[in-house]
Amino acid sequence: MAGVETAFRATLDTGSGPTIAILCEYDALPAIGHACGHNIIATSGAGAGAALAAVRDKLPGGRIQVIGTPAEEGGGGKIRLIKGGVFQSVDAAMMIHGFDRWILHQDLLGITRASFEFRGKAAHASADPWEGVNALDAVIQTFNNVSMLRQQMRPDARIHGIVTNGGAAPNIIPEFASAMFYVRSINLDYMWELQRKVIACAEGAAKSTGCTVKVIAYNDTVYEPMKRNEALIGAYRANLTSLGVVEAPPLVDRLGSSDVGNVSQVIPTIQPLMKIAPDNTPIHSRAFEAAAVSPLARTGTLTAAKAMAMTTLDLLTDPALVKRAQDEFKRTK
């Protein structure tokens, strides 16, 4: 769908009325599997859709769409689906994400990526080191420059990178080395400013080591911050509370990014977090990977699926709620 091979859309059409989307993610992480718990995002979204399908004859008019949105972890699947028009006729969207506590709204940081490919000159690292130009030094210098930049950074921004190529063998001065960085901020203007500074860090490193640098900026897959929608949050909260869930206090510092942020910038959208792991379990960790298949995850998935089905039903039953969500969306930034 929309050029995304493993995307899907299941539609339940019961006549004229609003179109409500329930989003499923199902991609995993390299090396640490389902340490973001997307298995339970997919299961709860499909579960909500199945519950509504089971009572389709009693549903008010409208369309319920369960949309499979793969490639969240870096691939920008939802960005491609937005560009492909998949959300064009959708009035409101929701999905849940696993976490270590129940939270109704968590801000998301805008994120962009940049890679740097340094080229130097190979030489024997012991016999002829002065003949070499060390591309790995340029990578290390880039990391050091970024570390210094980090001290001057606003607290709601993040820069983090990995070395993607560090040379072939210790006895060869590396002629090629590369690194990739993510740059994040709650504010898109500041994110671009930081990206320019990170690029300058790499260019400075190239100059000081005598290497050349190729900058590859992935500016077409920028994840945008999450736009808050109180009308939808309120509806979801009422359902979650009726299921016996006690909401945790808001968290200000554990900030990530997701392409659902982009969806929230085009239609009213929520992504509440559900508890699938013991308190203080970091996500993208081995502990969270284990939690994603635990009994706690099973309980959380069922509860979140019920709350999404109930919220979808609220939206179909009460067109004024859809209008409130859309009016708020137009009003807020």
By CB under 5 A, name the binding residues for Zn ion: 36
DSSP code, position 315 = H
> Shortest distance, CB of residue 6 to Zn ion, whole angstroms?
16
Residue with CB nearest Zn ion? 36
Q: How far apart are CA 254 and CA 108, in angstroms?
A: 9
Provide CB contacts within 8 A for 264, sequence distance 6+: 224, 226, 227, 229, 270, 271
Q: Are strands 19-24 and 92-94 parallel, antiparallel or unpaired?
A: parallel
> Shortest distance, CB of residue 4 to Zn ion, whole angstroms?
17
> Shortest distance, CB of residue 54 to Zn ion, whole angstroms?
28
Q: Is 36 or 67 the residue whose CB approaches Zn ion more closely?
A: 36
> Shortest distance, CB of residue 73 to Zn ion, whole angstroms?
5
Q: Label residues 44-79 b or e (16+ Cβ within 10 Å = b).
A: bbbbbbebbeeeeeebeebbbbbbbbbbbbbebbbb
> Shortest distance, CB of residue 40 to Zn ion, whole angstroms?
10
Q: Is 285 or 326 the residue whose CB approaches Zn ion more closely?
A: 285
Q: Is 36 or 273 the residue whose CB approaches Zn ion more closely?
A: 36
* Residue for token pair 């920028």: 222
Q: Is 36 or 79 the residue whose CB approaches Zn ion more closely?
A: 36
Q: Is 92 or 283 the residue whose CB approaches Zn ion more closely?
A: 283
> Shortest distance, CB of residue 36 to Zn ion, whole angstroms?
3
> Shortest distance, CB of residue 97 to Zn ion, whole angstroms?
6
Q: Is 36 or 92 the residue whose CB approaches Zn ion more closely?
A: 36
Q: Is 232 or 273 the residue whose CB approaches Zn ion more closely?
A: 273
Q: Label residues 233-269 b or e (16+ Cβ within 10 Å = b).
A: bbbbbebbeeeebeeeeeeeeebbbbbbbbbbebbbb
Q: How far apart are CA 70 and CA 303, in angstroms?
A: 23
CA-nearest of 105, 109, 86 to 95 is: 105
